[in-house]
Structure 1
């Protein structure tokens, strides 16, 4: 969930607390808290991954800050992103969600979330969403020193997108899947020198 469109500066910024962060996480308190505590940390549970997959889809064409501010409302509207519950949504739920000003009211994205919930449930018979996502962890992770060096796709994100589409998922393009992989620790794209580099424990500093 890296809000790439929000950053105009590639290098790290040293905060008043003495910690180095990328520019996108150095000003807005909400983004800074997200960067310092959540972004890039491993997520291996089905519900957590389904939430992040869903929010990545809703973010398409919007800023991540917008989605992050609406996340509490999203969680209420989508029953905590419990896959079994969302998989059972019907036309009445779509109407309810389209009337909810607290979330992004995009019909295709709402319908995609329901479709993906059903795909998550079906995927349990083959090991589950977490196993599939983490199976695309690369042999090495990027080590960007500037923002321009942070990739937006990878061979693994392209393969993951293809695999998910094959399982009935939608709104899972290679760029969206790379953002998901960054957000949940499958890759580490914290800039070298950031105080969060290596924080996930998945990859060495």
Structure 2
């Protein structure tokens, strides 16, 4: 999926900031077409918007019709990069369907596939949505997955970082795991040989 910014960059001569605002807030796109613009959401700081094939087609159509803000002296011309993106429409729709499945799987674990177990963030979201934030186990894709949560205090003792580990045995009989370890795990407070002198 291409970002909205990147897609707009493939429309020669437009005024990118005004065009972006028009696309997101104006009447160039229908409500359904605007719904084909998605937050990438790779992490909680990710503000990038991605454009789906239907929204991209509507934007390109508006460009060709001269409905987008243009720089002085420019008129719509060949937009080969945008056209090439639209040619990937079927592939993009499959990606969007997969993204939708994974989003729905958070609350409906029956949609989880074994390959999803390698996605630590997704599986953690599934556990939190269905079991809360603590340790526990769930059967996902027919496989028992165990979650272990351990807290590590900061040196000041005022905050806690959480180690989250998942363990499971795949359908091929291989033991697997994924985990995230907070920086607090290496603090003095969490090392018996170095934790002297810290406030309890």
Normalising to structure 1: TM-score of the pair? 0.22
* Structure with a larger share of its residues in strand: 2
* Structure with a larger share of its residues in helix: 1
Between structure 1 and structure 2, the one with the greater Rg is 2
Query: Which is bigger in relative contact order (C-alpha 8 A, separation at least 6)?
Result: 1
Normalising to structure 2: TM-score of the pair? 0.23
